Structures are given as structure tokens and as C-alpha cells.
Structure 1
């Protein structure tokens, strides 16, 4: 059965966060709360983690995975961002937005969209996620915890642990987490294009 760590939502215990980072670093898959919905997260270079997330979500190789970054300086390491795009990202991060961007060559090809060579990137506004990224020393590879055939992501850590006990290595209970996923904005072709309306203000992108 997956382990369950209960952490303080604003000041997560460093010992538990370090243990969680070790689990991910060794190939583990975790369910964690974010500033939007729960997400499945793992080490970005691990092919088995990708396969496990695809199996849980029942998605194919064209599914856009997301890198959860600590700040904008990390995004610049993994995506091609021009000055206008950087100003836009700076104005809305951290926050409930995922941006589809052209990936740099530093990223493993297996985590990119196979045809477009793009990836979702975001900077979450959540202490638990930030602490975990800090402890891991690199971005988290993630995907919304939305199970096949369900309209909303799971929200209760005990329910997540029970339903996915054989699919996960860890569930982090970090307090309340909503059910609305991020707003997804495609910036890979230049001007913002709405992919998914979720949490966040579309007016900030002129997409009302």
C-alpha cells in the first residue's frame, strides 16, 4: 500500500519532504496537492514513471505532461521563451496556469509531445509543492489526478490512497485541495491560445 505523509499545508516538515523527495528520486510515483487540483508526480527522467501515469490516466503518448518548476529561471532552462513570453509568464506566475512551450534539447524526448516537441510548464503557488521541488533539486514531472471516465479530479487523500494503493508509492496529505485544474495556454506558436479553461483569470491573456 502507498505510504501516506501528513504535512503542514503552510510549513511542511522538512524531514517528511526529504523522505518524499528520496522516494521520487528512486523512481516512486506520488499524489500531491497543488494550488489547483491533485497531481500525480515523479522524477522527470524516469520512463517507468511516465508509463505508470499514462496507465492510471489512460492517456496515450500525445498527452502533454507538465514540468512543475520552482520559478521562472527554471522554466528558461527547459523551454524556449522569447522576451514577450517571459514578461507574460512573469506577470502570472506563480499561479494556476500551465503553458505549452517549445522544449529545449536538455529535456528527455520521451516526456515531450512526439510530433510538436512541446511540453507543459508551470510554477505552482503551493508551499508543499515548492518544498518538494526544492528538496528534489529539479522540477517535478506531473499530470492532473483525473481518472478515466471521471469529470473531476480526486480530492480526498484517504480515498486516493485506497483507490490507487497498488499504483502509487506515496500520497502527501497537505490540507485542502480544489478540483479545478489549471488553465492551459498554448504559447508555442506565438500568441496565447486557450487549450483548457480552468482555475485562473482568462482576461489576463485577452481570452475572455
Structure 2
């Protein structure tokens, strides 16, 4: 119905395209996803899609973000450890929704195409995860669990890196035991190490 295509604009059209992308991902996986199939499902054209997203990876990242938006605020559970466990569980659930094959596909395109790698870096830099981790650390400092510490940017990314790597190598969904080990054996000791050497 060509007339309906021309009337849909702005957020309504964008939402239809992102929903169609997610549906295609769920059915065919990243390797089987085509812009043609997304356009057909969304009742639009490839040209319209490419006007907004320059590559398949960019479209998939936008669809994932649309499907699972992130809140900057993290609930205060009363302790550093349980705050971190809550954060790690939230990240793990988001990684589950991405599907391991989709992560691998986007990362593969990032290795082959510098523009996709730059897009991925931009999205990671803009992610609210950094603020959430620092918020948790600042609360712990106010409780007296840690000395005040400014967490370096690479250390702020580590929760996502740990969970993404674990999901890709061992399979998702991650168990509660695995998430607890990541917090207790890796991230908490790292934060205490940073806090004991603030000059670094």
C-alpha cells in the first residue's frame, strides 16, 4: 500500500523499522538479516533505511537500544557488593536480549570496517554505564566502604566487558553463580585496589 508508506514519517516510521529489525534478528539471526527483509517487514524502502542508518551493524545497534533502553539511575541496595550484583544482573539481562550471534556479528563487522568500529566506540563512550558505576562507587564512599575514588574510564567499562566475554565464550544466559564470581573475584577486588592507590 504505497500511500501508507508516504504518510508514515518521523518517530512512527523509525519505530516500525527498528521493530522490524528486531523481529528479523529473532527469526534469522544477525548473519541472515538483510536490509531488504527489514524494509519489506516495515513496509518501507531500503533507501529510507540507509538514509537513517549507514550500515547493517548501525541498524542492529539502534534496534537493540530501542528494544532495551537503559536507565541511568541504579537502585541503592545499601552496600557496594549488592549494588554491583544488581548492576551486573541488569547488564547480563541486556546481553541476553542481544543474542550472542548478534554480538559476534557486530564485532566482526567492526573488525572489517573502520566506520563500524568507530560507531561501536561512540556508542560505548556514550553509554550511561560509566555514570552508573561511578554513582555506585560514590555511594560506597559516602557509606565508608571505600575511600573516595575516581574510577578510570577503562575500569568503568569492565562490567560490560566481563559479562559480554563470559556470554560469548561460555554461553548465555549467565547463571547467578557466574555473576557473583565476576563481582566477588574480579570487580570488587579491582575497586578496592584502585581505592588503595588513588594516585594511580
Q: TM-score normalized by structure 1?
A: 0.25
Q: Which has the higher contact order (CA 8 A, sep 6+)?
A: 1
Structure with max Cα Rg: 2
Q: TM-score normalized by structure 2?
A: 0.25
When you count helix as a share of all residues, which structure comes out higher? 2
When you count strand as a share of all residues, which structure comes out higher? 1
